[in-house]
Structure 1
Amino acid sequence: MIVDLFWIISFPLAFVIHDGEEIIVQHKWMLTHKDFLIQKYPRAKRIVTHLSCLSTKAFAMAVLEELILLLFTAAYILIGGVYAMELWIALFMAFSVHFVIHIVQGVLVRGYVPGLVTSILMLPYAYFGISRICEDVSGVKLIQLSVLGVVAMMINLRFAHWIGKKFSH
Structure 2
Amino acid sequence: MSSERTWPPVPALPSKPSPCAPSPAVTLGLFAAWALHDAEEVAFGPRWVRENVPTLRKRFPRVPEKVWRALEGVTQREFTAAVGVMAVIVGSAVVSGHRTGGRSAYFQAVLDGFGLHGLMHLAQAAAVRGYTPGSATSPVLVLPFTLWARGRLRRAGVLRPATPGGAARGIALAAAATVVSHGVARRLIER
| TM-score normalised by length of structure 2 | 0.77
Tell me the residue number matched to 1:8. Answer: 27
User: C-alpha separation between the residues in 2 aligned to 1:41 and 1:14?
Assistant: 32
User: C-alpha separation between the residues in 1 aligned to 2:136 and 2:64?
Assistant: 23
Report the secondary structure of 2:136's partner residue.
helix
8 Å contact from structure 2 (residues 96, 104) kept in 1:
no
Tell me the residue number matched to 1:152. Answer: 173
1:148 is aligned with what amino acid?
R
Tell me the residue number matched to 1:69. Answer: 89
Residue identity over aligned pairs, in percent, reads 19
1:64 is aligned with what amino acid?
G
Tell me the residue number matched to 2:100. Answer: 80
Tell me the residue number matched to 2:11. Answer: none
Distance 1:78 1:134, change over 3 A: closer
| TM-score normalised by length of structure 1 | 0.86
1:129 is aligned with what amino acid?
A
2:172 is aligned with what amino acid?
V
Question: Which of 91, 97, 102 is the equivalent residue of 2:110?
Answer: 91
> What displacement does 1:19 show?
0.6
User: C-alpha separation between the residues in 2 aligned to 1:44 and 1:132?
Assistant: 42
Any residues of structure 2 matched to 1:72-151 within 5 Å, and which?
Answer: 72-80=92-100, 85-122=104-141, 123-135=143-155, 136=157, 137=159, 139=161, 141-151=162-172
Question: Which of 69, 80, 100 is the equivalent residue of 1:60?
Answer: 80
> What displacement does 1:119 show?
0.7
> What displacement does 1:86 show?
1.3
Matched, 1:161 2:182: yes
2:173 is aligned with what amino acid?
A
> Would you say how many aligned residue pairs link Structure 1 and Structure 2?
167
> What displacement does 1:78 show?
3.2
8 Å contact from structure 1 (residues 12, 70) kept in 2:
yes
8 Å contact from structure 2 (residues 110, 170) kept in 1:
yes
Tell me the residue number matched to 1:33. Answer: 52
User: C-alpha separation between the residues in 2 aligned to 1:133 and 1:147?
Assistant: 20
Give 1 or 2 for the bigger CA radius of gyration.
Answer: 2
User: C-alpha separation between the residues in 2 aligned to 1:6 and 1:84?
Assistant: 14
1:46 is aligned with what amino acid?
K
